[in-house]
Amino acid sequence: MAFATEKSVKFTRLWAMPNSRTYSIDGMAEIIHRYLRPELLSIDPFANNSRLATITNDLDPDCDTTYHMDAFDFFGMFDSNSVDVVLFDPPYTPRQVSECYKKFGKTVNMETTQSSFWGKLKKEIARVTKPNGYVLSFGYNTNGIGQELGFELIEIKLFAHGGAHNDTIVTVERKIQTKLF
């Protein structure tokens, strides 16, 4: 099924030093705090040591998060259409997934290193996000959660890092469709 949109999307590009802690990149806090509000339920399934969201999770037991679960299990804790904001900063590549899973003694197989890994996470995000809720996806592309899962693109912010560093891209989407769930 093909989708076409005529909606304009806000696009911003700026230069910032790279940082493995995505939310610490200069200028990143501005876009995150534009969508996070204290009264909203926000979740972060790959939080690392970030405490920006209301409920945080990271597989690493040494991280200062609310939970230390696999992201799929973490999403299972939430009812459908119950979360206002999702911060989605997963490992960006199959290699990063493999390294992370191996580091914590998790099984690495075709299921965890193919695009279906991210596809299943996106379906869970679509399930738990409230109508008119927001998802901020971080990575090397602007795919976000997508129209097929009921989201409209609101904003893209690209952080160029120069040299051989990949850009870090934030894609902001709003849930507009709930019939899928």
Has residue 177 been placed in a domain?
no
Please count the structural domains in the chain: 1
pLDDT in tens, 71-128: 999 999 999 999 999 999 998 777 776 777 677 777 766 665 556 778 999 999 999 9
In degrees and rounded to multiples of 5, residue 136 shows phi and psi of -105, 110
Cα–Cα separations (whole angstroms), residue 146 to 20, 32, 51, 173: 25, 19, 26, 8
Has residue 126 been placed in a domain?
yes
Nearest to 70 by CA among 112, 128, 22, 39: 112
Has residue 32 been placed in a domain?
yes
Nearest to 165 by CA among 9, 49, 11, 22: 22
H or E element, residue 112: helix 110-113
Beta carbons of 146 and 122 less than 8 angstroms apart? yes
Beta carbons of 109 and 138 less than 8 angstroms apart? no
Has residue 156 been placed in a domain?
yes
Q: Which domain holds residue 106?
A: 10-168
Has residue 74 been placed in a domain?
yes
pLDDT in tens, 17-70: 999 899 999 999 999 999 999 999 999 999 999 999 999 999 999 999 999 999
Instruction: Give the separation between CA 177 and CA 181, rounded to whole angstroms.
Output: 9
Has residue 75 been placed in a domain?
yes
CATH number (domain holding residue 27): 3.40.50
Q: Which residue has the higher pLDDT, 135 or 117?
A: 135
Q: What is the distance, to the nearest Å, from the Cα of residue 79 to the centroid of all Cα atoms in its chain? A: 18
Has residue 85 been placed in a domain?
yes
Beta carbons of 16 and 26 less than 8 angstroms apart? yes
Has residue 135 been placed in a domain?
yes
